[in-house]
Amino acid sequence: MKKILLVSGCSNTEKDFYSDIHTELDCSWPKWPEILAKKLDMDCINLAKSGMGNEYIYTTLLRYITTNDRDKIGLVIPAWTQNQRKDYQQKGYWYNQRVDPDGDVFSWMRRTLDYYLSFQILCERYNLPYMQVQMLSPYIDWLNGLTPRDNDPIYPEDFRYTYPGNKETDNKKLIEMITEYEDLLDTKKFLGWPLSHEYEGYSLQKRLIGVRPKVNPETMISEKDHHPNARGHKIIAEFIYDRLG
């Protein structure tokens, strides 16, 4: 019997991802969890859903682990996303807001760090192999400000955001918050730690696929849609596979 690779995440991980910008594009290529599962000779359970945040990622993994046969689980990977997203449920269905209307970047980061730690404790409690992955930068987009994306309904044309605080000072405060978890988390099982690019941390999106304004046509769908293309997903799968140990 094959073991299960259990994964959750956002649009960079979703099995049934489709491009909101290039609606005619066939995006049915294998995504990185399915590619990785094949490399590991495992079956894949991919719970990722576009637009969702870290609450969704953590909770969907928690519920699967606590309501299914854990002996069948061979590896668990949360592909963490931006911390400003808000997830919520209504009548059993998950929804999200791209930006949480409550709190600030510090409260969002604290919440996210607690998800990281809670996930680790969960896996250790049930003796499950795991690897945490920072797919998107948790807060840097928020500090840099948000702007509309052409032809993207998620960010309408009249949406503008400029970070109201001191970017440099607040970035240092966030790094200090992150370092508080250095001794709590098993950072050898966390790809991207310590998260900040200034301190040799990284997100897989930026390191392997690219971000604006730099465009990598070999790994991205297009100049307007920076999600990984077929080759990008292969690169992500290989990167994780090579670091599983």
- Using CA atoms in the order 105, 182, 241, 73, what is the torsion angle rounded to 10 degrees? -90
Average predicted confidence (pLDDT) for the chain: 92
User: How, if at all, do strands 86-90 and 93-97 pair?
Assistant: antiparallel
The predicted-structure confidence for 219-234, as pLDDT tens digits, reads as follows: 999 988 999 999 999 9
**Percent share of the chain, pLDDT over 90:** 79
Region for residue 145 given its phi and psi (left: phi exceeds 0; alpha: psi -120 to 50; beta: otherwise): left
- Report pLDDT for 151: 47
234, HSE (Cβ side, Cα atoms, 13 Å): 6
What's the pTM? 0.94
Average pLDDT over residues 136-140: 94
Q: Which tokens hold the place of 188?
A: 């050898």
Q: Dihedrals φ, ψ of 124, to 5°?
A: -65, -35
Average pLDDT over residues 126-133: 98
pLDDT digits (tens, 9 = 90+) for 47-90: 999 999 999 999 999 999 999 999 999 999 999 999 999 999 99
**pLDDT category of residue 154 using cuts at 50, 70 and 90:** low
What DSSP state is assigned to residue 228? B
Print burial letters for 144-182: b (CB count within 10 Å at least 16), e (below 16): eebeebeeeeebeeeeeeeeeeeeeebbeebeeebeebe
Bridge-based pairing state of the strands 132-134 and 190-191: parallel
Residue 118 vs residue 212, higher pLDDT? 118
